[in-house]
A and B are shown apart, each in its own frame.
Chain A
Amino acid sequence: MELESNYEIRRVADFIRSNYFTRVALQFPDELLKDSMRVVKALRQELSSSVKLYVMADTTYGSCCVDEVGAAHVNAECVIHYGHTCLSPTSRLPALFIFGKASISTSNCARNVLSHGLKSGKPVLVLFGLEYAHAIPDIREELARNASSLSGSTSMVEYFYADVSCSVVNPSETSKPANQLGLVDSEVVNGCLTEETSQNYSMGGLSWRLPKGRNMEEYLLFWIGMDNPAFANLALTFNSCEIVRYDATEDSLMTDVSQQTKILKRRYYLVQKAKDANMVGILVGTLGVAGYLHIIHQMRELVTKAGKKSYTFVMGRPNPAKLANFPECDVFINVSCAQTALLDSKEFFAPVITPFEAMLAFERGSQWTGAYVLEFPELISSTPSVVREESEEARFSFLQGGYVEDLDLRDNEEVEKDGMSALVNATEKALQVRDEDSQSLTKSIPKSGAEYLARRSYQGLDIKESNSLPQKFLSGRSGKASGYKHEKRNGN
């Protein structure tokens, strides 16, 4: 039965039974929601009636993350997450991830890996979308068979495979959890590489080891799967590697990754833009991924240190209309799981950047060397080490083509030095603001939300001005927002 295999009903039931969970939340992404009732029915048959099952639909944040807050509403003890996931570690609840099984032609795929591997001559590292995890053992077998038949004619190409680090996440565990799937055997195949001689990499739920002393750049990365955020992350993180993508649904090979380098450049631009920002909004884009609180604190500290003002927003999944409600923010930092962090900012009024980019932008003296970090643990470990120097060069802004200064910093310094002149300056500034808000169409750049408000031509209800006489009673519009009644008439 397709449902059974695709949703791994038996495994889920075993998992629930073995952990004695009684309240279980099933989280479906929108595109799988249609199957949810059938899954629940199937699970019901497997489980005793004491187990309560809840279906969670659309999440507040990205559907790739476990919606712990949603699950907490029903006091669930664990979450079964279906569909595409970023496998970000959770902070409170254990979760089981069911990736689903996408169809793939193993022989075609293996042939592509082989031919491309031979062509490049580099060792090949096979990475894949989680929905293809089920097919990897078959591909590996196929590949080994083909390779042996070819061997002798050409030099052997080394193949490495990534593993799914785990499909169960327990919040308490910080070390690498044990592999619970049938994929354990892959460890054995790679077993010749012991801990001492190899180096661990992990990303987006995949992990792999490479012999020590070799860089990722020496490998050809072969991605099996779609062009989704997971792939984009891979391409950004390992932007100096050669990457090819095998699209299983179209059975085609994509070697052109210029789109990815374009994205990287665009991110670089956003970093430069963020440097010019005076007010920074921190978007809480997740309430589940482990370490999010730490990152938020870290970001706040970073922004303050850079002499800018930060505001923290919790608004669920960000969209242009929501963010444009805060036009005072020049840039937003999106603290969220790795796969939802990259937002293309074209439609946004202000750019949205990732915490890593914020670190690049707001830490003086940090320069982009091409590395790119998206996952929280690595970010936390890369806490700023550079101590600010006292006298430093003014910052050169590439957007303005000249030197700009970060103001608040120097203000603070002056306060310490000379209380008297600081007071004078403050008074001066206050006078300035009043003086300017009359008719002129340009105003100085605001440094905080309050200054921004003072700069606006409309600052809210003006009670004094309104005339005290009661207004005449008027009938308003009626009808639907898509077309009010009077408009409908005019339109037709």
Chain B
Amino acid sequence: MVKFTADELRRIMDYKHNIRNMSVIAHVDHGKSTLTDSLVAAAGIIAQEVAGDVRMTDTRADEAERGITIKSTGISLYYEMTDASLKSFKGERNGNEYLINLIDSPGHVDFSSEVTAALRITDGALVVVDCVEGVCVQTETVLRQALGERIRPVLTVNKMDRCFLELQVDGEEAYQTFQRVIENANVIMATYEDPLLGDVMVYPEKGTVAFSAGLHGWAFTLTNFAKMYATKFGVDEAKMMERLWGENFFDPATKKWTTKNTGSATCKRGFVQFCYEPIKQIINTCMNDQKDKLWPMLQKLGVTMKSDEKDLMGKPLMKRVMQTWLPASTALLEMMIFHLPSPHTAQRYRVENLYEGPLDDAYANAIRNCDPEGPLMLYVSKMIPASDKGRFFAFGRVFAGKVSTGLKVRIMGPNYVPGEKKDLYVKSVQRTVIWMGKRQETVEDVPCGNTVALVGLDQFITKNATLTNEKETDAHPIKAMKFSVSPVVRVAVQCKVASDLPKLVEGLKRLAKSDPMVVCSMEESGEHIVAGAGELHLEICLKDLQDDFMGGAEIIKSDPVVSFRETVLERSSRIVMSKSPNKHNRLYMEARPLEDGLAEAIDDGRIGPRDDPKIRSKILAEEFGWDKELAKKIWAFGPETTGPNMVVDMCKGVQYLNEIKDSVVAGFQWASKEGPLAEENMRGICFEVCDVVLHTDAIHRGGGQVIPTARRVIYASHLTAKPRLLEPVYLVEIQAPEQALGGIYSVLNQKRGHVFEEMQRQGTPLYNIKAYLPVVESFGFSSTLRAATSGQAFPQCVFDHWDMMSSDPLEAGSQASTLVADIRKRKGLKEQMTPLSDFEDKL
């Protein structure tokens, strides 16, 4: 631990070249937190006065209980490089002191929104991969996310100790395993070719891959060994590093390097010969307590042990020896300092990803140059509950300028549109705070390139926001984060005692703030809804709600509820017509399903109401086969003006049509939000206005006549187009040994899931299974699976797509119709669907 005062820490913050902001990302259980702990133990900054009585790893009780990380936690590390090691460092620097702001993030997929928030405020990522399990689904997801944010990755192959102790594999086999892990990671990274970011692939021979044993606290990069052998072989370090990886073999008998295995018994791969074998030897000697052999060996390596450590035996001895020889902190921190960008470097290319406004204005330039004298640009990525109940720190990163105590800032919320007043506040920062371990220290100001926590803004920020100086009225906000998960699982909550309602309302507000992903909303029936990414996520949220945000007031939660979507299977069987209440106006309409992939394109924002109509019609024509003219006649997207449904004008030569357009659109927004089956949102439907008959007097074709009629005719056309329900489906990835496969299949079958990929991981007895599982069936899936496989299988579920349910909801007794009846009952609607005849009129 490094003991520091706030002032000393603040001093380093000004050296923007000597700062590294990085996150630790990985699949669940690959050892992020353990590895982080060993770094923190060596280099964590801790306020001087409290040194000694603070445990860095002290996190939430439930985290410890479950053995998983739930919230991302930020920690600052201090590391002083030696001049010798900095010799080969080419980048700009300012002295030898380095400040590393590290964020440990959760690995469970349910909490990946935390990862997203962490990535936004960091420039580099340490990707941790289990050397046995290899690259898993979550590794892939977070890696993609990181690259999408232009975060430069470095890799560490973790849990090396398993190779030596548990599996006892020989050198060549281990090398192959590591090689595969690195290759797999590189395959993912290679798909993100980005000229600005350059080559993001990782190479052991370049020092961007480390090998670590988080549990035992040691790690190395090839640099460590290269240094050691360079002098011995009389070659320079870079050359040596290349020899230590890849197809380079050394035969001690002939003392020759070859690029092929000569076949001689003593010829071994460079990595095996010079890295793996020595470590293996040391470990074995320690484990077998051959101390007489050990001491000379250590002496040769230049490792000196303290006298009391010399008495250790077996595993503790081995740990100690390894930690002294190859300390994890040195290897990893040096790797980060060398290969991850400083804010100054990173913001140069990240500005494109970050800034919404024009890339040549003052704000973009300030971000690009990481200019502490420029206008303030600060992104709040998450809200952290403060120790006094009900208040929050706004945690984020300063991208440009300085934020200081008492500064008046413009808060631009996620719905802010430049030039308007929506979602915009001007408030002053009460305090600027930096984290020193568990303690927060108030500082005067924080310059760009650093992370910061702000006090006094929590009443105006829900989840995230962009802050700038008060007068900078023309600043655009920093782009909103894109989450890889979506809140598909919902529960209704209510308080046990009716008079606790104000508490519940307050608690939900705070919950919404504390988690980037959770959504607190309300149903039409008046129930409060909490929506989360998965069962586990919801469980944690509700626990927080009750214990932390409501002061323990009891709540009742409903069973998890899944929201559905309503769609159509084919074109309406006929053109349907509805008459206005005064019978003077008629609307004729047809519904048809949108082309495959179009709804997703609208979801992704590739096609939307804000697009240039020309570009939109081009995409529609080229990718989805629309008629170019028709593509220009889209009246609206819905629901909420951006949803994946459309209303299109197909009329020819209708008088007054322009007058009723707004009314039809209003009716469409209304109807697409509450479909005719169960009042769920519609999805993937195109409504075509075929013909319109209107009264000649404007007063008789006003909104009052047309809006309800438009809604009715939309319902009628929906019901005549073979309506279907869409249900959300998870992509499940399970890793398990072969003997557990039977159990997995039977559970999946039971739950209507289907496996679409089964792959054995090379070199392991583990199988990787990918399957689709309806979200409805996923409740209790984890525990059932664990029971069926005696705990060997661990699933990760991510929302993947909407799947059409084949049964007809209009057919009495079908699965879909019972489902519809259930939803209607829950929502307090009439149990019977309104029949078509109530929507369609006859002449």
Q: Contact between A269 and B526 (Cβ–Cβ < 8 Å)? A: yes
Q: Which residue of A lies closest to B710 (CB)?
A: A324
- Proximity bits, B642-676, A CB within 8 Å = 1, else 0: 10000000000000001101110010001000000
List A433-492 residues whose CB lies under 8 Å from chain B. 439-442, 444-445, 456-458, 476, 481-483, 487-488, 490-491
Instruction: Tell me, rounded to whole Å, the shortest Cβ–Cβ distance linking A144 to chain B.
Output: 36
Residues of B within 8 A of A491 (CB): 842-843
- Contact between chains at B707 and A327 (CB < 8 Å): yes
* Interface: A2 (CB within 8 A): no
A284 to chain B, nearest CB (A): 17
Contact B523 A442 (CB under 8 A): no
CB-based contact A394/B525 at 8 Å? no
Residues of A within 8 A of B636 (CB): 441
Known: A326-B703, A442-B609. A347 touches B708 (CB 8 A): yes
- Give Cα A328–Cα B329 distance, bound, in whole angstroms: 63
| CB < 8 Å neighbour of B696 from A392, A394, A476 | A476
Q: Is the CB of A367 within 8 A of B505?
A: yes
Residues of B within 8 A of A407 (CB): 421-422
Partner of B521 from the list A398, A458, A482 (CB cut-off 8 Å) is A398
Q: In whole angstroms, what is the CA distance A431 to B462 when docked?
A: 30
Contacts of A370 in B (CB 8 A): 498-499, 501
**Chain A residue with Cβ nearest B637:** A441
Q: Is the CB of B641 within 8 A of A398?
A: no
Question: Does A325 lie within 8 Å of B420, measured CB to CB?
Answer: no
B522, A272: Cβ atoms under 8 Å? Answer: yes
Name the CB-closest residue of B to A240: B498
Residues of B within 8 A of A308 (CB): none
Interface contact A321-B581, CB-CB below 8 Å: yes
Q: Which residues of chain B have C-beta atoms less than 8 A from A401's C-beta?
A: 462, 512, 519-521
Whether, in the assembled complex, B425 has its beta carbon less than 8 Å from a beta carbon of chain A, the answer is yes
Say if the beta carbon of A411 comes within 8 Å of chain B: yes
Cβ contact within 8 Å between A322 and B704: yes
Using known A-B contacts A266-B524, A439-B613, A488-B843, determine if residue A458 contacts B658 with beta carbons closer than 8 Å.
yes
Complex partner residue of A487 from B523, B610, B635, B843, CB under 8 angstroms: B843
Measured CA separation A399–B60 after assembly (Å): 31
Asked if residues A458 and B708 are in contact (CB atoms below 8 Å), the reply is no
Report if A398-B708 is in contact (Cβ < 8 Å); known contacts: A325-B702, A476-B696. Answer: no
* Interchain CB contact (< 8 A) of A321 among B425, B460, B637, B705: B705
Whether A403 lies near B422 (C-beta < 8 A) is no
Q: Is the CB of A410 within 8 A of B843?
A: no
Number of interface residues of B (CB under 8 A): 66
Asked if A440 contacts B610 (CB within 8 A), the reply is: yes
Question: Could you tell me the distance in whole angstroms from the C-beta of B392 to the nearest C-beta in chain A?
Answer: 12
Which chain B residues border A267 with CB–CB below 8 Å?
526
Given A323-B704, A442-B609, also A457-B658 (CB < 8 A): yes
CA distance A411 to B584 in the complex (A): 44
In angstroms, Cα B841 to Cα A491, docked, is 12
Measured between beta carbons, the chain B residues less than 8 angstroms from A402 are 413-415, 462-463, 512
Known contacts: A262-B828, A403-B413. The answer to whether A324 contacts B501 by CB under 8 A is no
| In contact, A262 and B525 (Cβ under 8 angstroms) | yes
Q: Determine which of B522, B580, B581 lies in contact with A398 in the assembled complex, contact meaning CB atoms within 8 Å.
A: B522
Interface membership of chain B positions 611-646, coded 1 if the CB is closer than 8 angstroms to chain A and 0 otherwise: 011000000000000000000001111000110000
A149 contacts chain B at the CB level, 8 A cutoff? no
Do A399 and B522 touch across chains, with their CB atoms under 8 A apart? Answer: yes
Task: Kindly list chain B residues whose C-beta atoms are within 8 Å of the C-beta of A322.
Answer: 704
Contact A269:B708 (CB < 8 A) given known A403-B413, A457-B662: no
Do the beta carbons of A327 and B703 come within 8 Å of each other? yes
Taking a contact as CB atoms under 8 Å apart, the answer to whether B828 and A266 are in contact is: yes
Contact A325–B520 (Cβ < 8 Å): no
Number of A-B contacts (CB under 8 A): 152
Q: A324, B526: Cβ atoms under 8 Å?
A: no
| B419 on the A face (CB < 8 A) | yes
**A228 CA / B313 CA spacing, docked (Å):** 85
| Other-chain residue from A327, A425, A481 in contact with B663 (beta carbon distance below 8 A) | A327
In the bound assembly, the distance between CA atoms of A394 and B708 in angstroms comes to 34
Segment 582-599 of B: residues with Cβ below 8 Å from A: 582-584
Q: Does B502 contact A (CB under 8 A)?
A: yes
- Encoded as 1 (CB less than 8 Å from any B CB) or 0, chain A from 384 to 412 comes to 00000000111010111111110100110
CB-CB under 8 A from B842, the residues of chain A are: 491
Question: Which B residues lie within 8 Å of A272 (CB)?
Answer: 522
Complex contacts, B528 vs chain A, CB 8 Å: 398
CA distance A347 to B527 in the complex (A): 20
A159 proximal to B (CB < 8 A): no
Are A428 and B419 in contact, CB atoms less than 8 angstroms apart? Answer: yes
The answer, yes or no, to whether A369 is at the interface (CB within 8 Å) is yes
Give the nearest-CB partner of B695 in chain A.
A481
Contact across chains for A367 and B525 when beta carbons are under 8 A apart: no
Complex CA–CA separation, A458 to B656 (angstroms): 10
Q: How far is the CB of B214 from chain A (nearest CB, A)?
A: 38
Contact (Cβ within 8 A) B419 A432: yes
Using an 8 Å CB-CB cutoff, how does the interface string of A365-386 with B read, 1 for contact, 0 for none?
0011110000000000000000
Which residues in A have their C-beta under 8 angstroms from that of B521?
398-401
Known contacts A321-B705, A324-B704: A458-B610 contact under CB 8 Å: no
Chain B residues, Cβ within 8 Å of A481? 582-584
Distance in angstroms from A370 CB to nearest chain B CB is 5
Give Cα A268 to B523, complex, Å.
Answer: 10
Nearest chain-A residue to B420 (Cβ)? A444
The distance in angstroms between the C-alpha atoms of A327 and B662, with both chains bound, is 10
Q: What is the bound-complex CA distance between A393 and B459, given in angstroms?
A: 5
Assembly CA distance A131 to B612 (angstroms) = 65
Bound together, the chains give a CA A481 to CA B581 distance in angstroms of 11
| Complex contacts, A368 vs chain B, CB 8 Å | 501-502
Assembled-state Cα–Cα distance A119/B573 (Å): 58
Q: Is the CB of A444 within 8 A of B417?
A: yes
Indicate whether B127 reaches chain A with its CB closer than 8 angstroms. Answer: no
Chain B residues with Cβ under 8 A from A428's Cβ?
419
Residue A160 CB within 8 A of the other chain: no
Q: Per-residue 0/1 for A36-65: is the Cβ within 8 Å of any B Cβ (1 yes, 0 no)?
A: 000000000000000000000000000000
Q: Is B47 an interface residue when CB atoms closer than 8 A count as contact?
A: no
Chain B contacts for A400, CB-based, 8 A: 521
Judged by a CB distance under 8 angstroms, whether B461 is at the interface is yes
CB distance from A155 to the nearest CB of B (A): 29
How far in angstroms is the closest Cβ of chain B from A475?
A: 12
- In the complex, the answer to whether A367 meets B501 with C-beta atoms within 8 Å is yes
Known: A322-B704, A457-B662. A394 touches B460 (CB 8 A): yes
Residues in B neighbouring A212, C-beta threshold 8 A: none
Which residues of B lie under 8 Å from residue A326 when comparing CB positions?
Answer: 703-704
Residues of the B chain whose Cβ atoms lie less than 8 Å from the Cβ of A396: 462, 509, 512
Within 8 Å CB of A268, what residues of B? 526
For B708, list chain A residues within 8 Å (CB). Answer: 320-321, 324, 347, 349
Chain B residue nearest to A438 (CB atoms) is B613
Considering the chains assembled together, what is the distance between the CA atoms of A405 and B528 in angstroms?
Answer: 21
The residue of chain B having its C-beta at the shortest distance from the C-beta of A455 within the complex is B662
A402 to B460, CA, bound (A): 10
Q: Is B508 an interface residue (CB 8 A)?
A: yes
- Docked CA distance A492–B432 (Å): 79
Q: How far is the CA of A404 from the CA of B636 in the complex (A)?
A: 25
Question: Roughly how many angstroms separate A431 CA and B420 CA in the complex, as a whole number?
Answer: 11
Bound complex: CA A487 to CA B842 (Å): 11
Segment 459-501 of B: residues with Cβ below 8 Å from A: 459-463, 498-499, 501
* B20-62 interface bits toward A, Cβ cutoff 8 Å, 1 = contact, 0 = none: 0000000000000000000000000000000000000000000
A432 to chain B, nearest CB (A): 5
Query: Can you list 7 A-B pairs, Cβ within 8 angstroms, ordered by A?
Result: A321-B704, A404-B423, A405-B424, A425-B421, A440-B610, A441-B610, A456-B662
- Other contacts beyond A262-B828, A269-B523, A458-B661: 20, CB < 8 A: A265-B525, A266-B526, A322-B704, A349-B708, A368-B502, A370-B501, A393-B460, A396-B512, A398-B528, A400-B521, A401-B521, A403-B413, A403-B460, A405-B422, A407-B421, A439-B612, A442-B609, A457-B658, A476-B696, A491-B843
User: What are the 8 tightest A-B residue pairs by CB atom distance, in nearest-first order?
Assistant: A265-B526, A325-B704, A441-B609, A269-B526, A393-B459, A402-B462, A321-B581, A398-B522
